[in-house]
Amino acid sequence: MKEALLTFFCALAAGTLSAWGVGGGTLLLLALTLLLGVDQRQAQTLNLLFFLPAAGAALLFHRRSGALDTAALRRTAVPGVLGALTGAAAAMLLDVDLLRRPFGIFLLYAGGVLLFSRGKGDSGGKNQENFPPKKP
């Protein structure tokens, strides 16, 4: 029961951060493996499942505000799904320990992006001041 509650609060915090664009999905994966001791592969599945309602809910708010660019969505989602199928197939074939180092390097990169970027895309950033764009 205690572990389920801890998992819920981690997912709640990560879901909120995801909706704000602060890397919540990666954070939940780390919280599950490093803090709650969940097996790496199961944590990955949990993280992917978590993202579905979290992103679905956040997306409803963004769509309502007219922020969804469908052309850019097509350009990213179609190759993205093909890439996801490739990546998931590779993950199933490879030993989980083989992926530890590449994942560690990826985390250093992702952490560096958050630490050193100027915050373009922040939910509370300056770029939000002009949203929605003023009509000419």
Partner 1 sequence: MKGENRQYLAGAAAGVVNGLFGGGGGTVLLPVLTRELEGRRAFAVCVAAMLPMCAVSAAAGLWSAPPALWQAAPCLAGGLLGGVLGGLTFGKVPVGFLRKAAGAFMVYGGVRYLL
Question: Smallest gap, in angstroms, from Cβ of residue 89 to partner 1?
Answer: 7
Using CB under 8 A as the binding rule, the residues of this chain from 40 to 59 that contact partner 1 are: 41-59
Q: Which residues contact 38 (CB under 8 A, 6 or more apart)?
A: 32, 46
Question: Helices 40-64 and 2-20, interaxial angle, to 10°?
Answer: 40
Total site size for partner 1, rule CB under 8 A: 108
Using CB under 8 A as the binding rule, the residues of this chain from 58 to 117 that contact partner 1 are: 58-63, 65, 67-69, 72-73, 75-92, 99-117
* Given 2, 37, 95, 120, the residue binding partner 1 (CB under 8 A): 120
Distances (CA, A) of 111 to 4, 36, 65, 92: 27, 20, 30, 26
* Given 130, 134, 135, 136, the residue binding partner 1 (CB under 8 A): 130
